[in-house]
Amino acid sequence: MPSHNLSRRQFAGSLGAAFAVAAARNPIPFRLPRPYPSPRAAGMVLLDSNENPYGPSPKALAAITDSEAVSMRYPFEEQREMEKEIARLHGVGPECVILGCGSTEILRAADVAFLGADKNIVVAEPTFEAVLEYAKITRAESIKVPLTPDGRHDLGRMAGQCTSRTGLVYVCNPNNPTATIVTRDDMTRFFAAVPQTTMILVDEAYHHFVDDPRYASATEWLGKAPNVIIARTFSKIYGLAGMRLGYAVGAPEAIRAMRLQLLVANSNAAVLAAARAGLQDSDYVARCRERILTTRSNVVGRLQARGFHMLDSQANFFMVDIGGDVVPAIDQFKKRGVLVGRKFPSMGNWLRVTVGTEDEMRTFASAFEEIFCGARACAGHS
């Protein structure tokens, strides 16, 4: 169990000072049009779903409002223009791009397109569960490969599990829930080892938060590996989780097979306008990224100083080993007005926490101290 070397006052105070410096250096206008009415959010600090706490770009918010002018029309042309813009971003033709209602529709389309009762899907354990839930529809077998001791995809073992029956192998990079990555070198060997008959689906929902120079987006392999498909989303760095837009980019044949599985007119005018504005507001995206990574570094560093074991986070969330079942801790956080991530059965002692605003992380830090170093001496956990 961890030993706690800083006092409670030192821990909270050092976080507050670090956050104040970050806010002064990198101000971000935090504005939502009205309070979010969901019961999930009522009076709670939301650190459970890996959202961008600063919301969309002001330009994206303005684009949502302006979209009222076309709200009575189907956004067919707007969808085609969005596909063209994403294609330009990745240096491919529009036939290599599809849009989805969030990247979750992309994962579902891949499952239905490439799996069946005679096929299997290979995944890491744990990883984002949606791809496994959708695979049940196809009655495909799920093959789960445990993570490495440092919480990363074991790509060597995953490639070894891919056979002529493997329709899809799924790599979440950075991985949810661990926030760890696999490197460019890892991916190069993996792509070479996986059979060409197996489609490789790389989920890059958290791509924008990576600062490890060893990382590479799978988009580097576009045009080189026809069995590679990349999924991205506007739910994370672009702050549009509630608006629902994701996309896939890959070889035309693979994208054509997935397109057949999508809903017709699966995007709406408001999110298309907001996403285009967000893509064009690179300054805002960069400020959000810097602020979130600075906050992440401050919190992770101070938890480590307290003796808690952390995985190397390369996303806008982190995992901390609390030394026991996370379920009681999740309940304790909720009583203190903080929602944190759910339990992942294969990592039952690891708590997933989204990086919120500085004020939100101060609230988290205070709750953390009360739960793990409250009335009892911290040494009691050592």
- Residues 100-144: tens digit of each pLDDT: 999 999 999 999 999 999 999 999 999 999 999 999 999 999 999
| Residue at 131: amino acid letter | V
Picking from 259, 280, 301, the residue at the C-terminal end of a domain is 280
Residue 2 lies in a domain: no
> Does residue 244 carry a pLDDT above 50?
yes
Residue 359 lies in a domain: yes
- Residue at which a domain ends, from 280, 302, 331: 280
- Structural tokens at position 372: 């793990």
Q: What percent of the chain has pLDDT over 90?
A: 85
Distances (CA, A) of 149 to 31, 125, 311: 41, 12, 10
Q: How many domains does the chain contain in total?
A: 2
Residue 147 is classified by DSSP as P
Pick the more confident residue, 70 or 37.
70
pLDDT digits (tens, 9 = 90+) for 214-234: 999 999 999 999 999 999 999
Q: Are residues 330 and 262 in the same domain?
A: no
CB proximity list for 359: less than 8 A, separation 6 or greater: 19
pLDDT at 373: 79
Comparing C-alpha atoms, which of 36, 138, 47, 113 is closest to residue 337?
47
The residues, any chain, with a CB within 8 Å of residue 298's CB and separated by 6 or more, are 15, 18, 19, 22, 361
User: What CATH number is attached to the domain comprising 80?
Assistant: 3.40.640.10
Residue 95 resides in a domain: yes
CA distance 56 to 65: 13
Judge whether 1 lies within some domain: no
Span 269-295, average pLDDT: 97
**pLDDT, mean of residues 285-302:** 97
Residues 35 and 91 in one domain: no
In DSSP terms, which residues pair with 145 in a beta bridge?
124
* Shared-domain flag, residues 78 and 161: yes
**Quick one: tokens of 215?**
């990382």
Tell me, yes or no, whether 125 and 232 share the same domain: yes
Same domain membership, residue 289 and residue 276: no
* Whether 36 and 53 share a structural domain: yes
Q: Are residues 290 and 350 in the same domain?
A: yes
Rounded Cα distance, 149 and 231, in Å: 26
Quick one: 137 and 236 in the same domain? yes
Quick check: 173 pLDDT over 80? yes
| Predicted local confidence at residue 31, as pLDDT | 52
Q: What is the pTM of this model?
A: 0.90
Same domain? 81 vs 205? yes
Burial 256-265 (b: 16+ CB within 10 A, else e): ebbbebbeee
In a domain, 73, yes or no: yes
State the pLDDT at residue 353.
98
- Please answer whether residues 205 and 308 qualify as being in contact, where contact means their C-beta atoms are separated by less than 8 angstroms: no
Cα separation, 80 vs 95, whole angstroms = 10
Per-residue pLDDT at 27 exceeds 70: no
**Statement: residue 149 has pLDDT above 70:** yes
Report yes or no on 358 lying in a domain: yes
In a domain, 3, yes or no: no
310: pLDDT strictly greater than 80:
yes
- On whether both 31 and 151 belong to a single domain, the answer is no
Using CA atoms, how far apart are residues 300 and 319, in angstroms rounded to an integer?
Answer: 9
Domain limits for position 330:
8-57+283-381
pLDDT at position 6: 53
Average pLDDT over residues 332-341: 97
Confidence of residue 69 (pLDDT cuts 50, 70, 90): confident
CATH of the domain at 37: 3.90.1150.10
Last residue of a domain, one of 280, 305, 331: 280
Task: Give the pLDDT mean for 5-27.
Answer: 61
**Amino acid residing at 108:** R
Tell me whether residue 17 is exposed, middle or buried, using C-beta atoms within 10 angstroms of its C-beta: 0 to 12, 13 to 18, 19 or more: exposed
Residues 6+ apart with CB under 8 A from 173: 153, 181, 182, 187, 202, 203, 204, 207, 215, 218
Token readout for 231 is 């999924």
- What pLDDT is recorded for position 379? 38
Say whether both 45 and 106 belong to one domain. no
Whether residues 132 and 225 share a domain: the answer is yes
Q: Which residue has the tokens 């069946």?
A: 116
36-45, 73-82, 110-119, 261-270: range with lowest mean pLDDT: 36-45
For residue 312, being part of any structural domain is answered with yes
pLDDT above 90 for 55: yes
Listed range (36-45, 196-205, 271-280, 365-374) with the worst mean pLDDT: 36-45
